[in-house]
């Protein structure tokens, strides 16, 4: 099983915004070039990040900014912004199991504890990694990248 790519793309978006100097306007078009996807997908993910108050996007000409310091944004913050269901669950449970089946009638109650344990372990791990820690794995910003990527 593979989870969606929203989470790694959202992390890349946050890292790019943090990596770029203040005078570089980080738009969905700029981000789409780095992620190698279309700007519409980037805008959708950015809406999740904005709703979670991780980024701000001024109206008009755009250009996303982080709303807090990179030491204060964890992978868990980003994960929660883009991946969790409305029930705040890592895994969904079967909505309509067969209540007359000896397995179906108890499957959700049997699966709930290990699923909660897995969620707790994942959240604990993601909560230990900040964007600042990840930024240290990348070279400093170089303005020549803008020309190379055909950006202005």
pLDDT at 1: 43
Q: CA distances (Å), 63 to each of 23, 91, 129, in order?
A: 10, 34, 25
Fold of 6-141: Arc Repressor Mutant, subunit A (1.10.10)
- Interhelix angle 39-51/28-35, rounded to 10 degrees, is 110
Do 138 and 19 touch, CB atoms closer than 8 A? yes
pLDDT, averaged in runs of 10, over the chain (152 residues): 78 96 88 91 95 91 90 96 70 79 88 89 95 95 75 53
Tell me the domain boundaries of the chain: 6-141
pLDDT at 42: 94
pLDDT at 51: 95
Secondary structure E strands in 61-100 = 65-66
pLDDT at 150: 57
The reported pTM is 0.84
Residue 56's DSSP bridge partners are 65
């Amino acid at each position: 099983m593979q989870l969606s790519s929203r989470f790694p793309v959202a992390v890349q978006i946050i890292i790019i915004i943090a990596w770029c100097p203040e005078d570089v306007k980080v738009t969905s078009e700029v981000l789409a070039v780095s992620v190698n996807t279309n700007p519409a997908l980037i805008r959708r993910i950015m809406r999740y990040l904005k709703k979670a108050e991780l980024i701000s996007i001024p109206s008009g000409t755009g250009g996303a900014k982080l709303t807090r310091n990179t030491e204060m944004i964890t992978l868990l913050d980003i994960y929660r912004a883009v991946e969790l269901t409305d029930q705040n669950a890592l895994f969904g449970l079967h909505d309509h199991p067969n209540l007359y089946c000896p397995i179906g009638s108890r499957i959700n109650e049997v699966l709930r504890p290990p699923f909660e344990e897995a969620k707790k372990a994942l959240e604990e791990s993601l909560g230990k990694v900040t964007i600042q820690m990840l930024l240290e794995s990348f070279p400093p910003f170089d303005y020549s990248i803008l020309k190379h990527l055909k950006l202005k």
